Structure 1
Amino acid sequence: MDVQLTASHWVYLGGILVILATMALRKNIVVPAVIATFLTALTFSGSIVTGLSSIFNASLVAAKELFNIFLIIAMVTAMLGALRQIGADRMMVAPFRRVMRAGTSSFLVLAAVTYVISLFFWPTPAVPLVGAVLIPVAIRAGLSPLSAGMVIAICGQGMALSSDYIIKVAPGISAAAAGVDPDAVADKAMVLSLIVGGTALVITYLMQKRTWRIPSPDLLVEWESTARRGGDTDGDEPSGGAGGGGRHAAAPSPEPAGGPTGGGTSAAAATAVLTRTTDPIVDSSEDEKEKERRGTAKAFAMLVPLAYLAFIVYLMLGKFTEVVPPLQGGDAAAIVGGIAALILFAAAASTDRGSFLETTSDHLVDGLVFAFKAMGCVLPIAGFFFIGNPEFATTILGMPVEAPGPAILFDLVTAVQAHLPQNAFVTSFAILLIGVVAGLDGSGFSGLPLTGALSGALGPAVDVDPATLAAIGQMGNIWAGGGVIIAWSSLVAVAGFARVPVLDLARKCFLPVMAGLVLSTVFAVLVF
């Protein structure tokens, strides 16, 4: 089918190329995306008013499509804030320290705990939790600091975030741009993420095993002293890289807060000693309060995993049996948010009965602030790629509802199809490469609208399910930009806790991850 390309098509194509070039230069792409949206709308309509309004409309349309994602992030973050306030977050991972007695067991425990926590709560809270509590134990058990950092990055920022199977932020963005069912993208992304992660972990194990040592308490002392001599100034320096985020600034120095046992009680203990010598009645009262607090923390440390374990069981029963009705659309994410909200209320009420209503509100506000900090830049970027989709272009361009919207991106793809090899492998690896390039900005999610939109346009032409291509593009986006092979991403937080140079960590992760991405793409084309 012949497609007549207009000036707006060429402007839109130029916008895509500029965005890709900006990503390759490791710069933020919000400004190029907004300018490209304005110029595309201006060229299409010939009206400066439409061009200006499209800047707002594009972000508004993206916000409507993605606000459920913002809300689930906010609720889960708020819940974790309440759990952190009572100390339940550390107690959830403390039992795993008992089985970390050698390099191999520490490797496996770090992988499993990081993956599970990141799958349910995202890597941002998982890295500080696992880093502060389990990395020192792993070092003592003989695991090298670089190995610990690689495992956490691969399982958290990589394997868990690239599928995002529970919260479904990434599949939602990919599916919205591709015009397919989010569950279809999520299911395929889960399989592909396990292939990439499994391959990367096996290669990492084989490469790093020779660096592990015999368990000894001296290893922990050596690790801490080496980090101090190595220029870990004030414990803040590793977080200074681009994309690291100020919220990780204190990451490299968790020990002063209480050491690897997660105590943070040295000041409290000193106070208790002073009180015991002067007022035994006050001391007894403080002991009772501390016991009550620890009991509450233990209860929630058990409640949260059990609640989400029950949800997983229900999810699996609905998917593979007829015992319960299967969840539809965004039901899974909604249930995760509902569970998080109830746990948030209960945790706040258990520790702050007098003003828990205000405390709960504060946690929710913190969650929303974090959600918009983490995802806010995605809105104008998604808005630009949505303008190439006829389903959204009508609203963005202010056209009548009944009018057909311009299919700018699909027209471009159709126009170049005759000049491209009609081959599923070539197309799949092209989407993967675009995803990796798009992830070079270090955010992980900003390229998902691009790979999703291209998947929706290219899939039918090469007889590949667009959901499969979207999942492949999602792998490239997040394994690169999510914080595994890009040093200017949130990988700086992992490097900070492991106390290793972030460039060394990124370089060591590159080969295992790229091998996994290639293998997973071949699998997707042959099996899906």
Structure 2
Amino acid sequence: MGVELTLIHWVYVLFIISIVGFMLFRRDTTMISIIGIIVISFAASQSVSHSITSVFNSFIFAITELLPTILVISIIVSMSRILEITGINESMVSPFTKFIRNPTLAYWTIGLLMMAISWFFWPSPAVALIGAVLLPVAVKAGLPALGVAMAMNLFGHGIALSGDFVIQAAPKLTSDAAGLPIGDVIQASIPLVIVMGAVTTITAYVFLMRDLKRGKPFPALTMPLLEEKKTQLLTGKMKLFMALLIPVLFVIDIMLMAKLNLQGGSATALIGGTALVILMAVCVLAHKNASLEKTTGYMIEGFQFGFKVFGPVIPIAAFFYLGDAGFIKIVGDYLPKASQGIVNDLGVALASVVPLTKEIGAITLTGVGILTGLDGSGFSGISLAGSIANLFSAAIGTGAATLTALGQITAIWVGGGTLIPWALIPAAAICGVDPFELARRNLLPVTIGLVVTTIVAMFLI
């Protein structure tokens, strides 16, 4: 028996519809989310001052929940920067150049390497690392620059980022919004990530090879390949040693995570702590006496990147945290005593009105994921996907984790850097290709992948 819906519930629904509407018109939803928090708080407390303070409290709550994720990404970017400047990154990747002998090997080598590095270093730093070192080798082997950009996009911003099994930023956002343990969402996402990744990358490869055999012209590089001059901060032997040691340290982390069953915040802390130790060690080796000041500089760069990525996410996440346990902590105990949270209450009410099915739920979550990815972020709207997955699973009676994972995967594939042109700029710039042309080439493989993944999700719910 469901709880009787109150004004708070209806205001929440109104603002979800508003957020979806603004996303459809490609408008920013930050202001709508903030207004939503104010109005919901006022509807609950009937106090203007309480409504205003609730906004600030909601931001504190959201930042507190997201801070481990923001922190680990910032530290990893800081570490990536010192590896780039010292040339350790080139030493890590250069052994793979000998595998790139033809277009097929170039596509799969770059793609799989991009996926592996993106799991640990985040796709944005990985793009610069892979592109700078392997692009000239791949082009020489016969793979067009556009093909290199496709491989980096689909494997990095697609497979690695949508699952995000190591850093766990994406499942943290969606699991919080859905009110689920992060481990449940990660486990549910594994088969969907495999299906989506396999279908999309194989389809893209088949189309790419077909066009190469037909002699179809590909756009040439729009800029020459420049050799970046690096200061010799480390000897060749030291770079090689660190290039071997760093992957080993992260592999040990993965083994510890598996053995000790570390997930969520514990796994994030292990990865972040390891990255921080590596950052300091390399900084001391490279900058000697100046390492104290240089370490701070690298960390500032990392924090600037981290908050730039999550700046738009915080207000939206703050709004969707109201749908679950965050309501009492942010606004207060104003819901009916029998309430299980706004989203759960709405799900039960929806089930009594509309007979939802697994098929409708899966298609809807794919649609929500596509919609939330239209802003080109991939992350700013996945809280909405988690919240709606919770709502629909309550109505269907099952499949919360699978629906949440489906929404997450769809949103990040669309907005995280494979279809939206302005999200493709980093990879396009590194490879010297037009981001709109790259988006066009990715469109059909990603669409086919989304259709197949949605169908598979229907059987897993």
Which bin holds the TM-score, normalised by the shorter protein? Answer: over 0.9
Does residue 400 of structure 2 align to residue 466 of structure 1? yes
Does residue 226 of structure 2 align to residue 256 of structure 1? yes
Does residue 298 of structure 2 align to residue 363 of structure 1? yes
C-alpha RMSD of matched pairs (Å) = 2.5
2:220 to 198, 218, 223: 223
C-alpha spacing 1:488/1:420, structure 2 compared with 1 (3 Å):
farther
Does residue 180 of structure 2 align to residue 180 of structure 1? yes
Q: Which residue of 2 aligns with 1:502?
A: 435
1:484-509 C-alpha deviation (Å, 9 max, x unpaired):
111122x1221222322222211221
Q: Distance in 2 between matches of 1:406 and 1:188?
A: 23
The answer as to whether partners of 1:166 and 1:333 remain within 8 angstroms in 2 is yes
1:436 to 360, 364, 370: 370
1:374 to 309, 313, 318: 309
Q: Distance in 1 between matches of 2:340 and 2:208?
A: 53
| Aligned ranges 1:195-234 → 2 under 5 Å | 195-212=195-212, 223-224=220-221, 227-228=222-223
Q: Which residue of 2 aligns with 1:392?
A: 326
Q: Distance in 2 between matches of 1:168 and 1:292?
A: 32
Does residue 13 of structure 2 align to residue 71 of structure 1? no
Task: List gaps (5 residues or longer) in structure 1.
Answer: 229-252, 259-263, 269-289, 319-324
Does residue 144 of structure 2 align to residue 144 of structure 1? yes
* Shift of residue 131, structure 1, vs aligned partner: 1.4
1:317-345 C-alpha deviation (Å, 9 max, x unpaired):
x2xxxxxx432543222111111111111
C-alpha spacing 1:39/1:292, structure 2 compared with 1 (3 Å):
closer
Instruction: State the AA in 1 paired with 2:361.
Output: T
| Aligned ranges 1:471-490 → 2 under 5 Å | 471-489=405-423
| Aligned ranges 1:325-340 → 2 under 5 Å | 325-340=260-275
Q: Distance in 2 between matches of 1:305 and 1:382?
A: 33
Q: Distance in 1 between matches of 2:354 and 2:138?
A: 50
C-alpha spacing 1:31/1:187, structure 2 compared with 1 (3 Å):
same
* Shift of residue 145, structure 1, vs aligned partner: 2.5
Q: Which has the larger radius of gyration?
A: 1
1:36-80 C-alpha deviation (Å, 9 max, x unpaired):
111121122211112111111111111111111111112211211
Q: Which residue of 2 aligns with 1:191?
A: 191
1:469-498 C-alpha deviation (Å, 9 max, x unpaired):
110110111011101111122x12212223
C-alpha spacing 1:406/1:42, structure 2 compared with 1 (3 Å):
farther
Q: Distance in 2 between matches of 1:63 and 1:37?
A: 15
Does residue 20 of structure 2 align to residue 20 of structure 1? yes
Q: Distance in 2 between matches of 1:36 and 1:133?
A: 47
Q: Distance in 1 between matches of 2:190 and 2:299?
A: 29
Instruction: State the AA in 2 paired with 1:13.
Output: V
The answer as to whether partners of 2:170 and 2:408 remain within 8 angstroms in 1 is yes
Does residue 270 of structure 2 align to residue 342 of structure 1? no
The answer as to whether partners of 2:347 and 2:395 remain within 8 angstroms in 1 is no
1:301 to 243, 251, 254: 243
The answer as to whether partners of 1:394 and 1:405 remain within 8 angstroms in 2 is no
1:209-251 C-alpha deviation (Å, 9 max, x unpaired):
033379xxxx99x934xx25xxxxxxxxxxxxxxxxxxxxxxx
Instruction: State the AA in 1 paired with 2:458.
Output: V
Q: Which residue of 1 aligns with 2:104?
A: 104
Per the alignment, in what secondary structure is the counterpart of residue 340 of structure 1?
helix
Instruction: State the AA in 2 paired with 1:208.
Output: L
| Aligned ranges 1:90-169 → 2 under 5 Å | 90-169=90-169
1:457 to 368, 391, 397: 391
Q: Which residue of 2 aligns with 1:53?
A: 53
1:280-311 C-alpha deviation (Å, 9 max, x unpaired):
xxxxxxxxxx5953332222111111211233
The percentage of counterpart residues that share the same residue type is 32
* Shift of residue 402, structure 1, vs aligned partner: 13
1:155-213 C-alpha deviation (Å, 9 max, x unpaired):
01111000010000001111111111112212222331221111011111111103337
Per the alignment, in what secondary structure is the counterpart of residue 482 of structure 1?
helix
The answer as to whether partners of 2:2 and 2:345 remain within 8 angstroms in 1 is no
* Shift of residue 517, structure 1, vs aligned partner: 1.9
C-alpha spacing 1:291/1:20, structure 2 compared with 1 (3 Å):
closer
The answer as to whether partners of 1:100 and 1:138 remain within 8 angstroms in 2 is yes
The answer as to whether partners of 1:34 and 1:380 remain within 8 angstroms in 2 is yes
The answer as to whether partners of 1:2 and 1:415 remain within 8 angstroms in 2 is yes
Q: Distance in 1 between matches of 2:166 and 2:59?
A: 26
* Shift of residue 520, structure 1, vs aligned partner: 2.0
Instruction: State the AA in 1 paired with 2:406.
Output: I
1:428-454 C-alpha deviation (Å, 9 max, x unpaired):
221121111011111111112111122
Instruction: State the AA in 2 paired with 1:471.
Output: A
Q: Distance in 2 between matches of 1:93 and 1:424?
A: 44
The answer as to whether partners of 1:144 and 1:211 remain within 8 angstroms in 2 is no
The answer as to whether partners of 1:388 and 1:408 remain within 8 angstroms in 2 is yes
1:133-170 C-alpha deviation (Å, 9 max, x unpaired):
11221111111222222111110111100001000000
The answer as to whether partners of 2:220 and 2:433 remain within 8 angstroms in 1 is no
